[in-house]
Amino acid sequence: MATGACGINCDVCKLNHSNVCTTCGHGLSKEGKEKADIQIKLFGRACPILECARLNHIKYCMSDCEAFPCENFKNGPYPYGNGFLAMQERRRKDLDPPQNTEKFIVPVEYWGKVREKDLKKLCEHALVLPFKGRGIQIRFLHEDILVDTEENTLFRITPERLIKMDAPMKELLILIYLINASSVPFSTKMVSINQLKDAHFFQGPHAIRKDHVIDRFGNNLKGFMNAGKRIDGKPMNMADMAFMFFPLPKVPVYYLLWKADDEYPSRLSILFDHSIENYFSADAIWGLVNLVSKELMANDTPSHEYQA
């Protein structure tokens, strides 16, 4: 197939007709593998778009990847211009979201593994508390949550009552955290996605999504400040504004925001403590960041530009 993963059709390219350049093929093609191998041999690495498509088993980015147009397209000099990518991004937001008919179910054996833990040691290692003989009290950002090991259920703890929660991803992350809790403290050494051992996971459909946070807060630092404090973020003297969030007691996540200036657009860095992979695999880290961003953007109100 002469169309590359990026969408360029080599059949209409004079370089291909003249045998100066060969087609990349789609991300699952033999041509794609051969092209990537040649690029690595000549340049030390493959085209990031082709490399991402092959890694994530995607034929064509434009039709098969939910993350299109991603940073591989926006940061590269080709194949598309900013106007085309902006149009794609704008119109894709108007499409109906895909319907997910599968209900996410937390494996019941995870609850059993938590029950098997020595409660005293678990509380010490995970920095949690026993809750009135019903299980464990844990802090998730700004919420106090009961992990009820008798009913296999999460409850939000309020002064008036316990409120049953239907939050499968939050439930899964809390259980995994409790299962993996150890006496090892977090390191206070910040690392980026690219410094994690499973950094290759965070590409294509699993790229850490930051655009919606930037759209909301990139030119609204006061709004970011208010939202960060609302979910108990700890302000940090970094970037134009930054917070350290604790979605779990020993798993800090750092959001660093820069507003736009004459040279650069607004940008956001999301960093982690070096110890995060002691608790979570790459897919769980991806889910954790999605939850933090969702909580950060929930119920915030527009504000005027923050002036330091």
* Segment 26-85, tens digit of pLDDT: 888 888 788 888 778 777 777 888 888 887 778 888 888 878 888 788 877 778 877 776
Counting Cα atoms < 13 Å in the Cβ hemisphere of 60 gives: 9
CATH of domain 190-297: 3.30.310
213 pLDDT more than 60: yes
Please tell me the distance from the alpha carbon of residue 240 to that of residue 244, in angstroms, as a whole number. Answer: 14
Residue 184: how many other CB atoms lie within 10 Å: 11
Is the model more confident about 190 or about 187? 190
Q: How far apart are the first and last CA of the chain?
A: 55
Instruction: Give pLDDT, residue 226.
Output: 93
9 pLDDT more than 50: yes
Contact 271, 189 (CB under 8 A): no
Instruction: Give pLDDT, residue 103.
Output: 55
What is the residue type of 13? C
Residues of the chain with CATH 3.30.310: 190-297
- pLDDT for 81-103, tens place per residue? 777 767 777 666 655 444 443 45
